[in-house]
Amino acid sequence: MCGIIGYVGDKQASDVIIAGLKLLEYRGYDSAGIAVSNKGKIKVAKKEGRIVNLENHLKEEPLLGNLAIGHTRWATHGKPNDANAHPFIGNKRKYAVVHNGIIENYLEIKEELMSEGVKFSSKTDSEVIVHLLEYLDNGDPIATILKAVKKLKGAFALGIIHAETPNTIFAAKRDNPLIVGCAGGEGYICSDINSLPQSLKKVIVLDNKQFAVVKKNSVELYNFLGKPLDKNYVELSPEEWGDLKGYECYMDKEICEIPDALTRAIKNYRENKSFEKIDKDYLKSLRRINIVGCGTALHAGLYGEKLIKKYLPDIDVYSEMASEFRYNPVKVDEKTLTITISQSGETADTLVCQKMVSELGGKTLTICNVPTSSMVYYADYNLQLCAGKEVAVASTKAYNTQDLVFAMFIFDLALLRGSISQAEYDNLMKEIDALPKKAQEAIDVRGEIEAFSNKNFRKKSVFYLGRGIDYCVAMEGSLKLKEISYIHCEAYAAGELKHGTLALIEKDVIAIALLTDYDMVDKMYSSLAEVRTRGASIMVITPFADEMKLKEISDYLIEIPKVHKDLSAVVSVIPTQLISYYIARAKGCDIDKPRNLAKSVTVE
Ligand code: M6R
C-alpha cells in the first residue's frame, strides 16, 4: 500500500509534493510526510492523519527547496503516528527514503544494524532501508543503493534523495508500482501514472529490479547490476481524474459514470479484438478455468463462474479469493487457464497468485482496468475494462465492467467451442448492447433509494439475499455497505437462511432481496415470508415489481429494468451501490476514504 512521489525542478518542491500526495491519498491516509533537500541539507516533516495535516503544518513551518520526496501511508508495520510516518532520514542525515511495499527481512537487518550501534526511531520495516544505505555508503549513492537493494527481501518501490547529490531523485522497484519521467525542466517519480502531471506526456513504467536516476532534464535507467537499459516510454492518457466535476464525492461520480464505462468497455472489447488475440487452439483445448480476485473483483469472478457453469459445461471452473488460492494445491496444466480479475492490477494477493501460476507453467489472463499495471504486464493475455480511473476506495464502475467483459469473453469462448449457436450468441450481443441504457435507467431510480436510506441509516444489521447470480450481487452489495457505512451486513443465498442464520433475523433488521430471475419468484417469496414472520423489514430489488406476491411481501420495492437474466448482475448491482452511498452519506461517513482501508492493497 502507500503512495510515493518525488519532484525535482524549479518550483517549490513542497507545493508539488502536497498536490501529488492528494492525488495519491486513495492509496492510504494514515499519515503523510515530506523530505526536502536544499543546499546539501535534508529536512523532514511528517504528520499523522490526512495530507491536510501535513499541508497545514507546512504553512506554519515551510520547507524550502526544489528537490523533495513525499509519502502517504497505509499502516502495516507500526501504528499510524508521526514517528512511523515516512520519509525516514538516516542518523547522519545523508539519505532520506520513502517506501511502498514490505521488507520481509527487516528484523534481521535491524538486528545487524543495531549491533553496529545504529539507532532506530520507528516500528516500521521501511526504516531499515535508510540506515542500511548510510551503513553501506561509500560516497557513491548509485553504488550504495544498488548494494542495499540486493540485501532487501520483499517488495518495494523506493524514492531516495542524497544530501550530497543535488537535483537528483533515485528510484528503485521490485514488485510495487513505480513510474518515472521528466519534461520541461521537471523530473518526477510516482506510484501511480495518473497522479503525474499531463505535461510529462510520456513516462517510463519501471520493470522489476530496475533503478532510475531522475533529474530535471534526464532519466537514466539501470538494472540492479548497474547495467544501463533502454527506456520504453508510455504515453500519458489525457484522462482528467483529479476533478470531481461538480459531484459531491468520487463514489457518486463513478456510479454516474457506469453507463459510459459500459459503452467504452463494449467498444474496446470489440474494436481492440480482445478475444481474437488469444490463441484459438489453446482456448479450444481448455478443460479447466481458475478464477482469482479479491473483494469486489472476486465477486465479479463468482459471477463469471456461474456463467461458465452454464455456457461452458465441459470446462471445470474453480474460483477462489486470492489470499486463499495460493495456499491450496493449484491444478495448472496446458489445458488450464487462470483468470485474475482486478481493478488496479496491483493487488498483491492476486498478483502473487498470477505469478505463482506462471511459475508453475500455467497460462494467465487478466481482466483489469489499468493497462500499465503489473498484472497486465505479467499476464499472457489481458482484457481491458476501460472503466476510466476509479478513485473512491469503494469499487463501483469497475465491478459493472468486470462482469460485462467477463461475460463477453465467456460468450465468445462458448461460440468458439460450439456450446452456443450463432443465433444465441447474436441475441446475447443484442442484450449486451442494451446494458448502458438500462444501467442509466437503474441509476435514475436513485431518489427512491435516497428516501429509503435516509429512513434506515440507523439500522444496526442488514442482510442481502439472492439465489444464483443474484447471490453473487448480494455479496457485492453487502461488501459495499460494510465498507463505507460501517453497518454490519451479511449476504446469504436465500435458501440457506433457514439452516442457521434465520436465528439472527428480528425486528429492526432489514433484508434486501435481489430477484432478477423470474423462475425464482416463488422460491424467493417463501424465503422472504420466513424473514417477515420474524419481524424484519424487506426491500426487494427486481424488474418484476408488478408481481402481486412481491408487492405484498415487501416494505420497499425498487424496480429495475428488465435485463437478460444472465447479464442481470451488471445492472442489478446499481441499486446496491446507491444504497451504500446514500446510507454512508446520511450517516456522515467519509464516503471516498472509509476508515482502515485504501484503494490499492499492495501488501499480502
Ligand atoms: O484493485 P483490485 O480490484 O484488485 O482490488 C481488490 C479489492 O481490494 C477491492 O475490490 C476492494 O474490495 C474494494 N475496496 C471494494 O469496494
Q: What is the DSSP string of 71-136?
A: EEE--SSS-SSTTTPSPEE-TTS-EEEEEEEEETTHHHHHHHHHHTT-----S-STHHHHHHHHHH
Angle, vertex CA 291, rays to CA 285 and CA 295, nearest 5:
165
2 is catalytic: yes
DSSP character at residue 236? P
> Which pLDDT score is estimated for 195?
81
Q: Which residues line ligand 1 (CB under 6 A)?
A: 294-297, 342-344, 347, 350, 393-395, 479-480, 483, 600-601
Burial bucket for residue 3 (CB in 10 Å: 0-12, 13-18, 19+): buried
How many angstroms from the chain centroid is the CA of residue 26?
10
> Rounded to the nearest whole angstrom, what is the distance from the C-alpha of residue 483 to the centroid of ligand 1?
11
Nearest atom within ligand 1 for CA of residue 394: 16
Query: Which atom of ligand 1 sits closest to the CA of residue 347?
Result: 4
Domains of the chain and any CATH numbers: 3-235 (3.60.20.10), 250-433 (3.40.50.10490), 443-587 (3.40.50.10490)
The pLDDT assigned to 238 comes to: 61
Catalytic (active site) residue 231: no
- Cα–Cα dist 511/164, whole Å: 63
**Sheet harboring 537-542: ordered strands across?**
488-493, 461-466, 509-514, 537-542, 556-559
The span from the CA of 24 to the CA of 28, in Å, is 8
Taking Cα atoms as reference points, which of 214, 106, 203, 97 lies closest to residue 158?
97
Nearest residue CA, atom 11 of ligand 1? 295
d(CA 482, CA 24): 23
347, 372, 483, 604: residue to mutate for ligand 1 pocket, most atoms within 8 A of CB: 347
- The residue whose C-alpha atom lies closest to atom 10 belonging to ligand 1 is 296
Ligand 1 atom closest to residue 393's alpha carbon, by position in its atom list: 14
Q: What would the 3-class secondary structure string for 44-86 be?
A: EEEEECCHHHHHHHHHHCCCCCCEEEEEEECCCCCCCCCCCCC
E strands, 326-380, are 336-342, 363-368
The alpha carbon of 30 and the centre of ligand 1 are apart by a number of angstroms equal to 19
DSSP string for residues in 410-425: HHHHHHHTTSS-HHHH
Whether the full predicted model's pTM is greater than 0.85, yes or no, is: no
How many angstroms is it from 602 CA to the middle of ligand 1? 11
Q: Which of 2, 190, 294, 589 is catalytic?
A: 2
Q: Measured in angstroms, how far is the CA atom of residue 599 from the centroid of ligand 1?
A: 7
Nearest ligand 1 atom to alpha carbon 395 = 16
Whether 219 and 181 have beta carbons less than 8 Å apart is answered as yes
Hey, whose CA ends up nearest to atom 7 of ligand 1? 295
**Residue 278: half-sphere exposure toward Cβ, Cα within 13 Å:** 24
What pLDDT, on the 0 to 100 scale, is given for residue 498?
Answer: 84
Which mutation among 74, 191, 251, 296 tests ligand 1's pocket best, with the greatest number of atoms within 8 A of CB?
296
Counting ligand 1 atoms within 8 A of each CB, the residue from 294, 340, 382 with the most, and so the one to mutate, is 294
- Pick the residue whose CA is nearest to atom 9 on ligand 1: 295
pLDDT at 242: 59
- Which residue reads 415470508 in cell numbers? 529
Report CA(593)–ligand 1 centroid distance (Å).
13
Closest C-alpha residue for ligand 1 atom 12: 295
Distance CA 168, CA 151 (A): 23
- Residue 502 is predicted with a pLDDT of 81
**Grid cell of 11 as nine digits:** 518550483
Please state whether beta strands 509-514 and 488-493 pair in parallel, antiparallel, or not at all (unpaired). unpaired
Ligand 1 atom showing the smallest separation from residue 599 Cα: 14
Over its C-alpha atoms, the chain yields an Rg (Å, rounded) of: 25
Q: How far is the CA of 213 from the centre of ligand 1 (A)?
A: 32
Q: For residue 344, which atom of ligand 1 is closest to its CA? A: 1
b/e 397-434 (16+ beta carbons within 10 angstroms → b): bbbbbbbbbbbbbbbbbbbbbebbeeeebeebbebbeb
How many Å lie between the centroid of ligand 1 and the Cα of residue 443?
22
Question: Which of 250, 341, 343 has most ligand 1 atoms within 8 Å of its beta carbon, as the pocket-test mutant?
Answer: 343
| pLDDT of amino acid 28 | 81
From ligand 1's centre to the CA of 26, what distance in Å?
Answer: 12
- Low-confidence residues in the chain, pLDDT < 50: none
Task: Quote the ligand 1 centre to 297 CA distance (angstroms).
Answer: 6
β-bridge mates for residue 162, sequence order = 95
Of 29, 77, 71, 5, nearest to 392 (Cα)? 29
Cβ burial of 141 (10 Å; 0-12, 13-18, 19+) is: buried
Residue 268, phi then psi, degrees to nearest 5? -65, -40
User: Closest Cα to atom 16, ligand 1: which residue?
Assistant: 394
Distance CA 16, CA 70 (A): 10
